[in-house]
Structure 1
């Protein structure tokens, strides 16, 4: 009963919320070793609740989905995503896995001190490197599923299905397939938040009005920047 639909909507009953990552590429385990528990203290991925019984965020479920994709396609997750999603959306400055690019921002800890970036085996859960410009292209595709450029990647019906809420959820938070449904006071959006050591990111979408907000910060305290900006943005949105 642990299905792909449930893994992508965080209703599969799987463990492991998020990943701390590894200091170097040589420290980073294989994907199967990560699933078995080599996660730098986060634990293994295993069943902790009846599948379909409740919503519980599980990056571990996305790691299982990553392994499934690699087994079925025979190529790496990073290569598949570049070919099927990133390049077709012209997200040329994006990729899965740390690139050591000279253009990359430096992450900072909660005290504002620079820290070294971390690496992940769990790329589907934690490994996207991107820019605001690139992520805005993803947001535009998400808000315009019927556009030919978007349908070259996925059918409009598929994107609409991905954005549809999957039950059960929790108060203020539930998921579609990849897209999360988030309620902040009177404002409801879909999108996703990202949180790794030294980074805080957010993408908020409101399909009814066609509005989007993207914020990428290179600091563990990035939410202190994001919250007032979101509050100002939310006041501009029509009721939904």
Structure 2
């Protein structure tokens, strides 16, 4: 059985501060004193090391602040090795996919090829039982009332254990098969009257994009977003299970006696998430994408305003159209979180696009990842100043 802690002790952390040209690599030990008006490099690296020390096998992040760039990583790219985590490595971004899909839908609205108050029935006749009462806006903002297919008993029965996930790792799912998980289920609430996160909404939006354009949603997103912004590390894998290029491995816990064993789930066919969560990307690319989106480079004025209209959710974030929003240190952030087997990611940007954080983790360990990532957010979006670590 792999010893997680002994492996991490042999790991290597890398640190790059783009603003000053400083490049540092070495152990998880001391950090230099630094006076900076940009990212708190020492503070950020300390949190990454704490994440890798207890709650993740690998973690990487990029922080941008007023033109200065910090990139860091900690842990190991693969358990059982001493291979460092590449700060420019690729990772599965999960539900961050939703912002890309929503942006394409909003662009189509700006081109008058569809309207946000069009019903699902208008574009996908007969696909949803209550499609005549559900609009595209409802889908975008998770106010449709349609059940989340990944929360259904049938889905959780299939993907309930590590061994079951491994057994289905190469299974290709069609959007129609994913929609079958919620077929016949009543709406959770009257459309537009409440809020409930549902991956099913974005499976439907992917089909709408295809109906409107004649192209698969991924092809439209590639043409409109990836190529336009030069997001060379980003792709929609479809049914391809391998992550190309440098990347950290993801793991699932398998019970062996009274202990947990890490099972490598890096190779995985993400068609089971489709338009709701298949994206593979990098921290550089996600920061570039959200900076362009928040500063109005991708949408027309009316659609930009619609993007940022917030719906209260009762969670730690509220929701625009394919976009989460929350407050940190009195600053409003926009972006999205995402997770898929073996990977967790988040990307947050201020409204003016000047300050950003993108992080990817590969959860593994006994520590609680959530408070550690909250600490990272607090450091990334604190007021700049003098930082020092002993």
TM-score, length-normalised on structure 2?
A: 0.51
Q: Which structure has more RCO (C-alpha within 8 Å, separation ≥ 6)?
A: 2
Deviations 1:181-212 (A, max 9, x none): 22457554221111112111011122057322
Aligned partner of 1:141 in structure 2 is 292
Post-superposition offset of 1:131: 0.5
Aligned partner of 2:134 in structure 1 is 2
Post-superposition offset of 1:173: 2.9
Higher percent of residues as strand: 2
Aligned partner of 1:174 in structure 2 is 318
Aligned partner of 2:213 in structure 1 is 73
Q: Distance in 2 between matches of 1:208 and 1:154?
A: 15
Contact in 1 for aligned 2:329/2:378 (Cα 8 Å) = no
Q: Distance in 1 between matches of 2:138 and 2:372?
A: 33
Aligned pair 1:82/2:217, yes or no? no
Which entry has the higher C-alpha Rg, 1 or 2? Answer: 2
Contact in 2 for aligned 1:200/1:220 (Cα 8 Å) = no
Aligned pair 1:95/2:246, yes or no? no
Q: Distance in 2 between matches of 1:66 and 1:107?
A: 26
Q: Distance in 2 between matches of 1:137 and 1:72?
A: 27
Q: Distance in 2 between matches of 1:129 and 1:120?
A: 10
Contact in 2 for aligned 1:136/1:214 (Cα 8 Å) = yes
Would the alpha carbon gap of residues 171 and 229 (structure 1) be closer, same or farther in structure 2, given more than 3 Å must change? closer
Would the alpha carbon gap of residues 168 and 132 (structure 1) be closer, same or farther in structure 2, given more than 3 Å must change? closer
Aligned partner of 2:383 in structure 1 is 236
Q: Distance in 2 between matches of 1:184 and 1:80?
A: 34
Aligned partner of 2:349 in structure 1 is 205
RMSD value, Cα: 2.8
Aligned pair 1:119/2:259, yes or no? no
Post-superposition offset of 1:224: 5.7
Q: Distance in 1 between matches of 2:345 and 2:325?
A: 16
The gaps in structure 2 that reach 5 residues or longer are: 1-132, 152-158, 160-164, 254-259, 385-390
Aligned partner of 2:334 in structure 1 is 190
